[in-house]
Amino acid sequence: MLLPPLSYIPLDPSHSTIRERERERERESTMRSLMHLFSLYLFIFSATYDSFVHRTLADGVTPEEAKLLRDEVREMFYHAFDGYMEHAFPRDELRPLSCQGEDTIGNYALTLIDSLDTLALLGDRERFTTSVEWIGKNLRFDINKTVSVFETTIRILGGLLSAHLIASDYATGMRIPSYEDQLLHLAEDLARRMLPAFDTPTGIPFGSVNLMHGVDEHESKVTSTAGGGTLTLEFGVLSRLTNDPIFEEVTKNAVRGLWARRSKLNLVGAHINVFTGEWTQKDAGIGTSIDSFYEYLLKAYLLFGEEEYLYMFQEAYGAAMHYLHNDPWYVEVNMDSAAIVWPLFNSLQAFWPGLQVLAGDIDPAIRTHAAFFSVWKRYGFTPEGFNLATLNVQQGQKSYPLRPELMESTYWLFKATTDPRYLDTGRDMVASLQYGARCPCGYCHISDVEFHEQEDHMESFFLAETVKYLWLLFDLAAGPDNLVENGPYMYVFSTEGHLLPATPQISLVREHCSYLGAYCRSGDSRRKSYTSDTSFVEQKNNYTREFGGRMQTYLTAETSYTSAPFSGFIKGVCPGLTHGQKFGISYVNPTYTHGDNSDYKDRDRGEHSVQERQSIVIGGDQDDGKQSDDSEYNEDIRESGDSGSQSVKDPAFQSHSVVIVSNDDGGNRQTDDSNSNHDDTESDDKSSESQFPQRLGQCPS
């Protein structure tokens, strides 16, 4: 034992005195140890007390209270829906403070269309039937109106398709006897009017299109990643319902165009030039301008079962978790260097935990959701931007426009974990909306979350998503009795919250016939051309691009779309190759260096066209899916082995994390313009075979 300092030794140092001092020091040491243990206990208790109290309060949400909360959310929906129908219909959206209507997107009863499947979900047969019949008789899209391709797709096209699938199917319990596919015909007409937006060198669509005249010659050539990559669900479902692949083809190639231009880190930027392929904003994140690009990669796989979407999602998700995740938050970084450029929580990021639930990555979803909800608790709402450096609302981003993303993630986390804390979270959200956002005729935007100032506007997605997810949350806790939980199909929610069922006609389209005989593909896959009355203003250029192994010509004045079958997209796929090699998705450099399109008619057949086709288009013969030179192909498979591939697990059934599939070549294959041949007369089978391995990633010889 160490002796005390000499200054503490008595002048008369008898042995008994020294022993007493030593015993006293031992007692003091023991007391200090006990105090240390007690302090540690207090620390542990204080750290767990909030969680304990939180869990205790949440445990108080009994099934009876969940029913009351569900009924309260139902009343919230009808307060806003009735306010719209009485004061705003048939205009697009409601001004809930002044009780007036306003046109915000296209002057076609936006809020009613966006609310259709919510009415069906609530079991309101009368209003659902009345609304569907009115829309079928009165809605038209032959109007001289320039609309957002993204917003029109997710709100109008998605709303029409979802309502059609409910109204036309006896299995949903909401079948309308007099219904004769009017909504489907409207959806097809609307989508065809938006097809000219995809007439770009990259395949990535313009952000806006005129429903009568096509794309204006002065239309901006810059669009967001989400705007170009969040169209696959709605257009893909439409292709399956109409048996016309053109809708799915253009949207799939838009996704390929974006993914082919990702950085070496597998990150995508926020805005891109649809003509040159150059990124005009290289900030990579999971929020504004990018969010639903990630969402639709996974959901397209879940709904359509196409492995290509799963591959892209796994690569993109792995990069996001590596470079953007600053546990539990997410930041924005430069897509090339991964340097942090914006330490900001953006309210649109709140969808991410819900997406992670669908991907099976639950643990980080729980932590991130808790962090995001802490911002809600602090202000009563989530501001558009919360600065993670200053821990304050970002200047100029103080509003809350009734966004649904946090409710969506709360619903999915409760469904995955059954943890009652998420019921408490939902109860807090309902209280905030009721006391802070409720207006005379609906629910108001919050212009400043710090002072709860109201603004006279109500987005249609409040009825399509916000109250829908809250109602589903409490109905699930009360004992579910709704179309989603008890219906005949698995449903995938679009980014606007619309219900898209995995019916045989939608999800088994590549099968010859479902085992129940519910849907069989006919031999004539509607390969006829469709001539649209939609034309481009003052644009006379023609150009060709490749879809599914054949050349498709877009003609302006009278735009001709030649449909192709779904099968035969992938030819010569080798089990020993990585997904990137199988699908031929590589990196590309920007195609052009100038933003104007004055010489576009010559450029599209110029030196860059082969580079574009090799990068973003999957080749393959239209007629069949046979490999050329089968004997050599099989020999290549034996030589390639399994070194370049890993098994892919369905993320919908993983319990912990997504399996990230590696791409051994890093996706760094470069195109070689010197090997290109643009003379149509020389495009024989031999030249096609010589370029085939580069474009498709056949097994190496």
Give yes or no for a contact between 637 and 699, defined as CB atoms under 8 angstroms apart: yes
Kindly calculate the radius of gyration of the chain based on its CA atoms and give it in whole angstroms. Answer: 29
Give yes or no for a contact between 277 and 588, defined as CB atoms under 8 angstroms apart: yes
User: Is 151 tagged catalytic?
Assistant: yes
Q: Which residues contact 41 (CB under 8 A, 6 or more apart)?
A: none
- In the set 291, 315, 455, 546, the catalytic residue is 291
Instruction: Tell me which residue of 671, 670, 646 sits closest to 659, measured CA to CA.
Output: 646
Give yes or no for a contact between 70 and 92, defined as CB atoms under 8 angstroms apart: no
Provide the β-strand partners of residue 346: 385
Q: At CA 451, angle to CA 449 and CA 453, rounded to 5?
A: 80
* Cα–Cα separations (whole angstroms), residue 294 to 46, 290, 299, 338: 38, 7, 9, 18
Q: Which residues contact 610 (CB under 8 A, 6 or more apart)?
A: 671, 673, 675, 676, 677, 678, 691
User: Is 632 tagged catalytic?
Assistant: no
Look up residue 357 and give its two tokens: 């639930």
Look up residue 642 and give its two tokens: 């399994």
- In the set 124, 151, 308, 424, the catalytic residue is 151
Look up residue 238 and give its two tokens: 């439409």
* Cα–Cα separations (whole angstroms), residue 142 to 95, 138, 151, 214: 26, 12, 18, 11
User: Is 291 tagged catalytic?
Assistant: yes
Pairwise CA distance, residues 382 & 401, whole Å: 9
Pairwise CA distance, residues 205 & 461, whole Å: 23
Binding site residue list for Ca(2+): 495
Pairwise CA distance, residues 31 & 25, whole Å: 10
Instruction: Tell me which residue of 189, 194, 192, 186 sits closest to 132, measured CA to CA.
Output: 186
Pairing mode of beta strands 385-387, 392-393: antiparallel
User: Is 682 tagged catalytic?
Assistant: no
Look up residue 42 and give its two tokens: 């207090």
Active site residues per annotation: 151, 291, 384, 405
